[in-house]
Structure formats: structure tokens, C-alpha cells
Amino acid sequence: MAKAKSTKKIAYDFDIIVIGTGPGGEGAAMNLTKAGKRVAVIEKHSQVGGGCTHWGTIPSKALRHSVSRLVEYNNNPLFNKTEKAATLTFENILRHTTKVIRDQVRLRGGFYSRNDVKVFHGCASFIDQHTLNIDYPDGSKEVVTAEKLVIATGSRPYRPADVDFNHSRIYDSDTILSLKHEPKSIIIYGAGVIGCEYASIFKGLGCKVDLINTRDRLLSFMDAEMTDSLSYHFWNSGIVIRHGEEYESIEGREDGVVLTLKSGKRMKADCLLFANGRTGNTDQLGIDKIGLNADSRGSLAVDKTYKTQINNISAVGDVIGYPSLASAAYDQGRIAADYMLNISTERQLIEDIPTGIYTIPEMSSVGKTEQELTAAKIPYEVGRASFKHLARAQIGASPVGSLKILFHCETKEILGIHCFGERSAEIVHIGQAIMQQKGDANTIEYFVHTTFNYPTMAEAYRVAALNGLNRLF
């Protein structure tokens, strides 16, 4: 007689374990625990929040806020009554940043405790596809198991082997937060989002800034007119941008750093910030033990449900690469949780993900650029509003910038919103909300027929809409 198969269910410590407590890990953990699952998170650092809270998004934006207020103060004739400009040191503005980080950690830590999510503070590595080893800072170890796992370990700055990041004058976007001296000059290698944001910060503090761009234009994924505006603003403020350059060597000295470019140029500054790319945090997870592979930049491949090659293991956030945004990572975590709970079979990130670049001034966009529409042969028209003509911008002494609406010539459907100037990352969401509407609700005429508070920056939409419609014939 054949022996009956056992139907005994394996007893795991948890239903789901999430590795990482950044936006992606938090989004997944909260969604899963609200659904009644037994959830644990493993965070290798002593506090929750991940790189977003401690080294990336929150610190850089808090630094930027302090510096932008300093710039505003010095440029406003109401306050600037002396010949000597007000100054702040990097250490000064770090105090505000530290407080913001502390408040964010307290807030996010409360989410886990209130929702009975167990938090392990140690380094996780795979034993098998259901089992993790946790190495604690004191040298002790613990083994935990779960039916399913989510990898949300984020990313870290890319560090080429021939650059000495142990030198006291050479930094990446994580270690720059430990800057103790007051540089009079800085070289920023890499003119992506991080490089441009820190160029604004250090220029606002009065530093001489050399920005080295390995490509032929700044932020080429953004609308060209907006990035041209940023380039001009950088040039006008004294930032030197060198396009199409790559380093030959980076030499740390006692009194600074010497950068030699492949083009033969040499330059020296008090310090150097290397901000050229990021790497997924997969190298310490032992993924090879379970047959999981990462690409050359440490990123994991996932399907549309955020599952990896291993059926019970999902991955979200920066560790899977594009779009590498905190906002998208949080949504990815929640969407992945929906699939794990069998709540969804179709849910995906929205197609038009907004982008915010926190330079001084800000840039933000959602939807298609002019270059993309032209390449696709889509007939479009442009509506523009210059901030210098808006009463609210005049009142706030922030005339730099503009709003641009791209819309279809025939249907008048909104195709893209692009904004440069103070509060751009907020302003763009008004256009995004209308773009997400269905049918006739998603047309530029909405902004003509609605009533805006006056004076507001939102009024730029009405001005831009009228400008665009007047171009039609």
C-alpha cells in the first residue's frame, strides 16, 4: 500500500521577512502586517529608515533647505542691509539635518512598534530560500525563517577601486555628511541628480565648485529646456561645468585633492565628492547560496509582480534599479505586498512617475519631454508661464523659473508638465493630478475653466494654458 503524502505545514518563525527598512521595505512591511501577516524586518544599522533617511534623500534635502533659505536671505533687499553677506558652515546646516533625521527615525520606528512588526538590527544573509542568518554587532548570531521574503536593501554610492575613499579629503554622497573642515573649493565628479544637488548646496555656502559631467549635458533624461535653464543658472552663480569628461586619476593630498582628466586637464580643490552612480546592496546577502544572481551593479532582476528568480523571494526599491526613487520604492513595496497577498493580479507603478530634482532652484517634471514627443512624431503644442510675471513669485522675491505644459494639438490632452523654479516639486503635482484623469477631464482646458486662489504659484497653470491655447489655429 502506497504511503500517503504528508500535508503537515512547515512552521516558520514568520510569514514574511523584509530585509531593509527604507521606503520599499517599509511599504511592504506595513501593507503585509495590516493584512494580518506575521512580519519581521531586518535592518543592518542601529536605526530604521534605510539609506533614504540617513544618507540620501532626507539629509540632502534638509541641507538644501537650509542653504536655500540662506541664499534667499542674502538676495532679499529687505534683510540684506549690510555689505557683508550672512554665512553658514556645513557643520551649522548639519544640525538641522540631524534633527530632521532624528524625527524621521522616531516616526518610522513608531510604525513598526505600533503594528507589532519585529525589528532585528543585524546583517542578514541567506542560508536557504526560507532561512536567514543574522549577524549582530556584538558578534552573536541568530537564525530566522519565513515562508516568503522581500529584499529591500537599497543601494550605496559606486566606488571604483582606483579611488582612495579612505582619504580624509575624498568623499561619496554617504560620507560627505561627516565633513568636518570648511572647504573653500570642491570638485564634484558626476553631474547626475546627486551631483547637481550638492553643487547647489556647496555653491550656496560660498564654495568654488567645479562640476564634472561625464555626459554632454546635465540631466539628459529631463526636458532639454529645463536643463538648459539649470545650466544657465549654475553658470550665472559661478559653478564651472565641464561636460564630456572622465577622470584619469584622483590623488588625495594633505591639503586637498588633485583631479587629472583624460582630456589632460588638471584641477585642485580642498576636497572631492565622487557622485557617479550607485550599486545595489546585494554583495553581503549570500544570494549565490540560493541561486540568485545580481548584475554588475548589484541589481536584482524581477518580474512585473516584483518576484525574483526564486519564487518565494521578492525585491523592491533601489536594489532592482530603475527608477531608483524613494517615492517609487514605497509604492513598489506596497504593490509587491498586494501580489504576495493575492490581492492584485495587475497592479503596477503609474506610467508617468514624477521626478523632483532638489537643486537651487528646483526642477520637476512628469510625462513626456519635447524631445520624446518629437521623436515619436506626436503633434504637440507648448504653453508657458514665466514665474517673474506671477504676483506670488514677485511677492516672494522668487522670480526665477517657469512652468511648461505640453499638450496634443488636436485632442488637447496633457502630455507633459515641466517646471523650473522654487517649489517646482510641489507645483508639478497639480498637473500630474489632471494628467491622471480619464477622457475629456485630461485636457489643458481644465486650467482655463477652473478658478485658482490668487495670488498663488498654482496660477501659473492658467497662464500657461492660455498661452498654449493661443498658439493653436
Retrieve residue 102's grid coordinates.
532624528
Q: What is the mean pLDDT of residues 192-202?
A: 96
Looking at the DSSP bridge assignments, the partners of residue 249 are 260
Look at strands 363-367 and 355-357 and give their pairing.
antiparallel
More confident residue, 369 or 347: 369
At residue 80, the pLDDT reads 65
Domain ranges of the chain: 14-157+279-340, 170-276, 361-469
Q: What residue ranges in 262-354 does DSSP mark as E strands?
A: 266-269, 271-274, 278-280, 313-315
Nearest Cα residue to 338 out of 316, 309, 370:
316
Per-residue pLDDT reduced to its tens digit, 164-173: 999 999 999 9
Retrieve residue 60's grid coordinates.
540632502
At residue 6, the pLDDT reads 47
Confidence of residue 8 (pLDDT cuts 50, 70, 90): low
Query: Is 45 within any annotated ligand binding site?
Result: yes
Checking if the pLDDT of 181 tops 90, the result is no
Query: Is 393 within any annotated ligand binding site?
Result: no
Query: Is 190 within any annotated ligand binding site?
Result: yes
Query: Is 432 within any annotated ligand binding site?
Result: no
At residue 263, the pLDDT reads 97
Report d(CA 187, CA 257) in Å as an integer.
8
The gap from C-alpha 343 to its chain's centroid, in whole angstroms, comes to: 28
Q: What is the mean pLDDT of residues 437-463?
A: 93
The gap from C-alpha 404 to its chain's centroid, in whole angstroms, comes to: 23
Superfamily classification of domain 170-276: FAD/NAD(P)-binding domain (3.50.50.60)
Query: Is 256 within any annotated ligand binding site?
Result: no
Nearest Cα residue to 56 out of 108, 110, 95, 97:
97
Please, where are the H alpha helices in 239-390?
326-340, 370-375
Confidence of residue 440 (pLDDT cuts 50, 70, 90): confident
Confidence of residue 324 (pLDDT cuts 50, 70, 90): very high
At residue 441, the pLDDT reads 83
Residues 444, 381 contacting (CB under 8 angstroms): no
For residue 369, give the 3-state DSSP assignment: coil
Query: Is 20 within any annotated ligand binding site?
Result: no
Query: Is 61 within any annotated ligand binding site?
Result: yes
Nearest Cα residue to 159 out of 147, 176, 171, 145:
171
Per-residue pLDDT reduced to its tens digit, 82-130: 767 788 888 888 889 999 999 999 999 999 999 999 999 999 999 999 9
Looking at the domain 14-157+279-340, which fold is it? FAD/NAD(P)-binding domain (3.50.50)
For residue 89, give the 3-state DSSP assignment: coil
More confident residue, 351 or 9: 351
- Residue 53: exposure state from Cβ atoms within 10 A (0-12, 13-18, ≥19): buried
Helix (H) or strand (E) run with residue 111 in it: helix 90-114
Q: What is the mean pLDDT of residues 379-395?
A: 96
Q: What residue ranges in 225-334 does DSSP mark as E strands?
A: 240-242, 247-253, 256-261, 266-269, 271-274, 278-280, 313-315
Q: Could you check whether 14-157+279-340 and 170-276 share the same CATH topology?
A: yes
More confident residue, 4 or 179: 179
Query: Is 43 within any annotated ligand binding site?
Result: yes
Which CATH architecture is the domain 361-469 placed in?
2-Layer Sandwich (3.30)
Report d(CA 411, CA 424) in Å as an integer.
26
Checking if the pLDDT of 315 tops 50, the result is yes
Nearest Cα residue to 250 out of 324, 182, 318, 159:
159
Query: Is 155 within any annotated ligand binding site?
Result: yes
Query: Is 27 within any annotated ligand binding site?
Result: no
* pTM for the model: 0.93
Query: Is 416 within any annotated ligand binding site?
Result: no
